[in-house]
Chains A and B, each alone.
Chain A
């Protein structure tokens, strides 16, 4: 803008003072810069329209709080190279920066930091090209099939989580949980590992006797609140991450964990393994986001949103306010009835953790 005011100023000075030199100079530069900028605008738009974003990896796994690397490149069928900035489109579960990439300029390594536990898709990127003189900027939305990012909870048990698991931390219970409850002593099956042989009894009866154990041992059933309130971050931290860390601690010693999801008017039982914990977060989040897409926050300029389908929007949208859908005592009672007579039950609810 300053440049154009200056050039127009030189031209008008020549006009007012009847000086042909300044008029010619101002006009020549004005015509040259304007046609340059118009050409640049046309070429950049053509290049962006024929561009695509390519992720080199299929799936990325990262532990919460840690970093992983993603290789990305932007290619166009128009053989021009433009320096640009790229912001990846994803929900706030991962943190990425604004990266400088060159269109048709090879791969760029992007650092991804796992912020929250979950399973998300990076559906593409928002690319911005600015001319070197800073006169014009053009933005483009590049969408592809998306790259799958899994953010796993930490393997180690955290101090804060012990609170929620009080009564399950003793070594004896831990081993019992891992191996399963002792059901009976039976004759040794030679296809089973020798570690299952109960040597004391074998010595007493003079034959090989092994321990037969139940599948899940003392694994607790878990009732987890899956309302919007557990997804809302407070000081950057979400309740659901604490819940998932607690489930992770249980899942490390129990191959399968019964998790009852509860929110207002909703109770559902799911069987979770350690590997499927991020999917549980995704299941909870997408269920809420799809039902309340209008009140979700989407970190994409408004004029690009119309180019995205509901599934793509649900991938990058995030709940921004509580929907008053917290589970009441009625849903928790219903969850208890589903569990039946289980001895150990872990309740993950905002009233307990909040």
Chain B
């Protein structure tokens, strides 16, 4: 699947515009951030219309802006906004042919296996001990354990797959 770069960029830009308008009412500190984000997004769409070749740079700039917007959002929107932003980024890469839909689809079981391993890791005593230690160091222990368990589970899956590849070779 590979659409024109312009079509891919405009599709993602429109989705981002909807997201920006949706979160505008929840901005904690200043409405100026979301105003500038929308302005940059619209300006990028205009530039992309005249110079489709710049779509990569415009995408990078707007991704950075969207991440900054997400950074200023309240915690209760973090999960939904991060998922929506991740999906749009992946969609853009899919539409541009940088990711193959079939391979992405086949990779879903690997994510699921990683999820199961991550859940199993969370039940191990070492994680509980680490969680308590991190809590005393002033770092958000929930986030830290989340990152650690996902990294570990992916690492385990990676080792299994590399060994599998070496075995079949």
> Which positions in A face B, CB cutoff 8 Å?
10-11, 14-16, 18-25, 27-32, 34-36, 38-43, 45-46, 49, 80, 132-133
> Which positions in B face A, CB cutoff 8 Å?
67, 70-71, 73, 75, 77-79, 81-83, 85-86, 89-90, 93, 97-100, 102-104, 106-108, 110-111, 114, 139-140, 143-144, 146-147, 150, 154, 157-158, 161-162, 164-165, 168-169
A35 touches B83 (CB 8 A): no
Residues of A with C-beta under 8 A to B103: 36, 39-40, 43
Given pairs A16-B139, A32-B90, A35-B107, 12 additional interface contacts (CB within 8 A): A11-B147, A20-B79, A21-B71, A21-B82, A22-B71, A29-B86, A31-B114, A35-B111, A38-B161, A39-B110, A41-B161, A42-B165
Residues of B with C-beta under 8 A to A132: 97-100
Number of A-B contacts (CB under 8 A): 110
Tell me the bound Cα distance from A280 to B98 in angstroms.
51
Tell me the bound Cα distance from A352 to B164 in angstroms.
61
Known: A23-B143, A132-B98. A10 touches B67 (CB 8 A): yes
A43's partner among B106, B111, B139, B143 (CB-CB below 8 A) is B106
15 A-B pairs with CB atoms under 8 Å apart are A21-B81, A22-B70, A24-B79, A27-B146, A28-B83, A29-B86, A31-B114, A32-B107, A36-B99, A40-B103, A42-B161, A49-B169, A132-B97, A132-B98, A133-B99
Residues of A with C-beta under 8 A to B161: 38, 41-42
Q: Main secondary structure on chain A at its contact with chain B?
A: helix
Residues of A with C-beta under 8 A to B107: 32, 35-36, 38-40
A21 touches B169 (CB 8 A): no
Q: How many whole Å from A305's CB to the nearest CB in chain B? A: 16
When C-beta atoms are compared, the residue in chain A nearest to B157 turns out to be A38
B150's partner among A15, A21, A27 (CB-CB below 8 A) is A27
A45 touches B139 (CB 8 A): no
Residues of A with C-beta under 8 A to B81: 21
Residues of A with C-beta under 8 A to B70: 21-22, 25
Tell me the bound Cα distance from A29 to B67 in angstroms.
13
B78 touches A24 (CB 8 A): yes
Tell me the bound Cα distance from A31 to B90 in angstroms.
12
When C-beta atoms are compared, the residue in chain B nearest to A48 turns out to be B169
Q: How many whole Å from B139's CB to the nearest CB in chain A? A: 7
Tell me the bound Cα distance from A218 to B49 in angstroms.
80
Q: How many whole Å from B87's CB to the nearest CB in chain A? A: 9
Tell me the bound Cα distance from A18 to B144 in angstroms.
10
A27's partner among B71, B108, B147, B165 (CB-CB below 8 A) is B147
